[in-house]
Amino acid sequence: MRHFRIDEFRPLRIQFYRLVLGIGLAVSATALPDLASARELSAGVVKIGIINDQTGPLSDNSGPGSVVAAKLAVDDFRKLSPDLKVEIIVADHQNKPDIGAQIVRKWFDVDGVDMVADVGNSAVALAIQSIARDKNKIVIYSAVGTTDIGGKQCSRTGLMWLHDNYNLVTGSVRRLVAQGYDSWFFIAADYAFGRNMVEVSQRTLAEAGAKSLGAVFHPLGNADYSSFLLQAQASKAKVVAFANAGEQLVTVMKQWNEFGMNATPQKPVAELMFLTDVHAMGVETAKGLTTVTAWYWGLNEETRAFGQRFFKLHKTMPTAPQAAVYSAVLQYLKAVAAIGTDETDAVLDKMRSMPVDDFYARGARLRADSKLAHDFYLVEVKKPQEVKTPWDYYNVLETISADKAYMPLSESECPRLKTSAK
């Protein structure tokens, strides 16, 4: 386990008169709380824990880059409230739920961590979710796909900032079925994320009048996909869908091309793909792959500006999870500063009342099931000759508005919604 502390901030008395609630938004000093009349911060400091896969198969899409994103968020927050002391603690959960749970429990019980962000593994997220609920501590999830976090295992303290598998698969599955791709076979990671993604996909296929011809599941970090690809080929399915990501998706797509499957009528679909995956496999291998993403650095001037800042520090363009970590950390700190406390219930109330308004999402709000509702984008990897600048890999085919991207609350399995409706 790698566990280290980053503290670059001056231990000065917190003064809120210079706070503004958003970039470009001026607020009268008389409307802001003074520390003398506000509740004290716990231990006089705001502590944020970034936990994810720092070195393994999922590290490129979040990993150390998420730490960079969190630091950029703190840097930008200091421009709004320069005297607020912030600490960032970082740990590697190694994609193991028991290790992740152990780290986060210690953070809450011993180290005084106020909020945890990122996580990036569904199995680890499910283990952390129950701890945070019991301890009444905030966790803001980035690349966590399982719908259980916002469904059966939903919690007031567990916020989904990026996506879940419903956002990722329903729009693209329906679009492809409408184009005649009505038979699917799945190659998926054998843990909570992959199994949940296949389940959601198969349910969506059935609703659209299409069919699943089967699924095979591989271990996390698998290196040889030949048997899985042969099963997919033998299925004669029109679509071979990959419910994995990171190093796993890169390896299986390279082998797809090596086996000549790119020359067959079967269409490969990456149900979850990150920008770093495209970079690692190469545009020649990835060309034509479609996926749904919550964010892309090349969307507009604001996203490109953040991309360039991030690149100078990390030497890659930011992924959607890393952009989400930036947004989540900044929004959390704004809420803490606005009310003068890091007490969980008060911060959550403030975060729910404040729209997110940054380059990651404009006017986005937290829903009753603790999901941040924002737009998504159906993208396709460009052909090599279309790539004019490094990392500019996507053509945006369609914007999926927030009102269409999320499961209706009336269909949610979140127990909190049923309780509040009584």
Mean pLDDT score of the chain, rounded to an integer?
90
Task: Identify which of 57, 24, 382 has the alpha carbon closest to the alpha carbon of residue 250.
Answer: 57
Distance between start and end Cα atoms, the chain: 45
**Once rounded to an integer, what is the mean pLDDT over residues 25-35?**
34
Domains and CATH numbers, the chain: 3-163+299-371 (3.40.50.2300), 166-293+375-405 (3.40.50.2300)
Q: What is the gyration radius of the CA atoms in the chain, in angstroms?
A: 21
Going by C-alpha positions, the residue among 148, 150, 142 that lies closest to residue 121 is 142
- Residue 247 has a pLDDT of 92
What percentage of the chain has pLDDT greater than the value 90? 84
User: Do residues 53 and 62 make contact, with C-beta atoms less than 8 angstroms apart?
Assistant: yes
Return the pLDDT at 369.
95
Contact 100, 128 (CB under 8 A): yes
Please choose, from the candidates 248, 240, 291, the residue with its C-alpha nearest in 3D space to the C-alpha of residue 268: 240
Q: How far apart are CA 293 and CA 71, in angstroms?
A: 23
**pLDDT computed for residue 418 by the predictor:** 76
Query: Across residues 123-152, what is the average pLDDT?
Result: 96
- What pLDDT does residue 187 have? 98
Q: Give the C-alpha distances (Å, rounded to integers) separating 388 from 289, 384, 391, 394.
A: 18, 9, 9, 11
Cβ-contact 70, 88 below 8 angstroms = yes
Helix (H, G, I), strand (E, B) or coil at 25: strand
278-291 tens-digit pLDDT: 999 999 999 999 99
Amino acid identity at 218: H
Q: How many CB atoms lie within 10 A of CB 201?
A: 26
Decide if pLDDT at 388 tops 50: yes
Q: Mean pLDDT, to the nearest integer, of 328-342? A: 96
> CB of 97 within 8 A of CB of 115?
no
Comparing 38-52, 204-218, 322-336, 345-359, the range with the smallest average pLDDT is 38-52
The DSSP annotation for 120-148 comes to --HHHHHHHHHHHHHHT-EEEESS---TT
**What is the average pLDDT across 27-52?**
63
How high is the pLDDT of residue 41? 82
Kindly tell me the burial class for residue 22, based on how many C-beta atoms sit within 10 Å of its own C-beta (0-12, 13-18, 19 or more).
Answer: middle
pLDDT at 356: 97
Predicted confidence (pLDDT) at residue 11 exceeds the cutoff of 90:
no
Residue 420 has what pLDDT?
Answer: 56
Q: Please tell me the distance from the alpha carbon of residue 362 to that of residue 359, in angstroms, as a whole number.
A: 7
Model confidence at 23: pLDDT above 90: no
**Helical H segments across 14-62, by residue range:** none
pLDDT above 90 (res 419): no
Helix (H) or strand (E) holding 290: strand 290-293
Confidence of residue 416 (pLDDT cuts 50, 70, 90): confident
Q: What whole-number distance in Å separates Cα of residue 305 and Cα of residue 293?
A: 19
What mean pLDDT do residues 397-420 have? 90
**Measuring CA to CA, which residue among 59, 40, 115 is closest to residue 314?**
59
Give yes or no for residue 15 having a pLDDT over 50. Answer: no
Does position 319 have pLDDT exceeding 90, yes or no? Answer: yes
pLDDT higher than 80, residue 263: yes
d(CA 366, CA 356): 9
Q: Are 169 and 200 in contact (CB under 8 A)?
A: yes
* CA dist., res. 371 & res. 343, Å (int): 21
Helices (H), 208-300: 226-235, 247-258, 275-281, 283-286
CB neighbours of residue 74 within 10 Å: 22
Spatial CA neighbour of 216 closest among 256, 237, 243: 243
Q: Which residues on neighbouring strands pair with residue 212, listed in sequence order? A: 184
Complete DSSP assignment for 177-231: HHTT--EEEEEEESSHHHHHHHHHHHHHHHHTT-EEEEEEEE-TT----HHHHHH
What per-residue confidence (pLDDT) applies to 379? 95
What is the predicted pLDDT for the residue at 44? 86
H-run or E-run covering 301 = helix 301-314
Out of 73-87, 200-214, 323-337, 407-421, least confident range: 407-421
Specify whether the CB–CB gap between 414 and 322 falls below 8 A. no
Lowest mean pLDDT among 41-50, 127-136, 401-410: 41-50
- Euclidean distance between CA atoms 422 and 414, whole angstroms: 14
> Is 115 in contact with 13 (CB distance < 8 Å)?
no
pLDDT per residue as tens digits for the range 83-100 = 899 999 999 999 999 999
For residues 310-328, average pLDDT: 98
63 neighbors 55 (Cβ within 8 angstroms): yes
What pLDDT sits at residue 380?
A: 95
